[in-house]
Amino acid sequence: MVKILAIGDFHGKFPSKLKDIIKKEKIDFVLSTGDFFPWGMKKIFFKYCYNTSKNLWDVLGKKKYKQLTLKDLKDGEKKVIKKLNKLPVQDFTTTGNYDLTNINDHYPADRWNTGWNWADHDFLSPILKKYPAIKRVDYSFAKYKDFVIIGGIGHSSPGDVKSKAYKKHKKILEKLFNRFKKENKQRKLIFLFHNMPYMCGKLDLINDKKADKSARGKHFGAKLTRKIIDKYHPVLGIGGHMHENQGKCKIGKTLVINPGAAVNKKAVIIDFDEEKGKVERVKFVR
């Protein structure tokens, strides 16, 4: 039996009980879905920028925006990434929509590029390179014994399926899944992503009463992630992004799990039977 701890959406907070869970449950490895940094500008973004053409620095000014971004990076590295790296087991991670990597996996380029080189910089990559116990897998893969972990992102919305970015990253994932057909057939392939798959029951449904009215009650999971699951049927899919939607659902033969948000002290423990190629137990941490 392999025991997995899945967790994500830290936003600058690291649950102190993680170490105890890993020791008590004898966890073999950790899967994390990203969003390490706090995003201290969240309220300002949704008040002044959401569903508009405004950037945060149009509201705050570039100097203030830069100052707050650097603070987020410092806090996320100190309070989350360093602590993840000190865990006694390997962590495999994808990155979140606020991890400042500048990865565009489903938007048209003209919508994605801000025109300000500093803001479009990849801030996360040089940080993660300092921490060997955290293995990044977005649009790549990693192995743990006989398991293969393939990563995606899905950003924060369904995405534009006609965009070059969507088509590019779809090809990358298809190439990876085709490479590991044997492991997938053996039910030992795990798909790790940030945003939930599109239309996965209530797990990608925006039901937060504080959410913008234009999005409330709608499914905001990633169509790219859903497309890959429908085509390849991995045994297990782990995502997040939707903080309030801790839970699980089945998409065909794939068990999809949202661990809930680490910032709210949530996670999930998964017992996986290697011989049977199936999940035996899902225990949500609340």
Q: What is the pLDDT of residue 211?
A: 77
In this predicted structure, what is the pLDDT of residue 233? 98
Percentages of the chain per state (helix, strand, coil), in multiples of 5: 30, 25, 45
CB-based contacts of 113: which residues, under 8 Å, 6+ apart?
A: 120
pLDDT of the chain, 286 residues: tens digit per residue:
999 999 999 999 999 999 899 999 999 999 999 999 999 999 999 999 988 889 999 999 999 999 999 999 999 999 999 999 999 999 999 999 999 998 999 988 877 778 899 999 899 999 999 999 999 999 999 999 999 999 999 999 999 999 999 999 999 999 999 999 999 999 999 999 999 999 999 999 998 777 777 788 899 999 999 999 999 999 999 999 999 999 999 999 999 999 999 999 999 999 999 999 999 999 999 9
pLDDT of residue 208: 79
d(CA 99, CA 78): 14
SS3 164: helix
pLDDT of res. 114: 80
Domains of the chain: 2-285 (3.60.21.10)
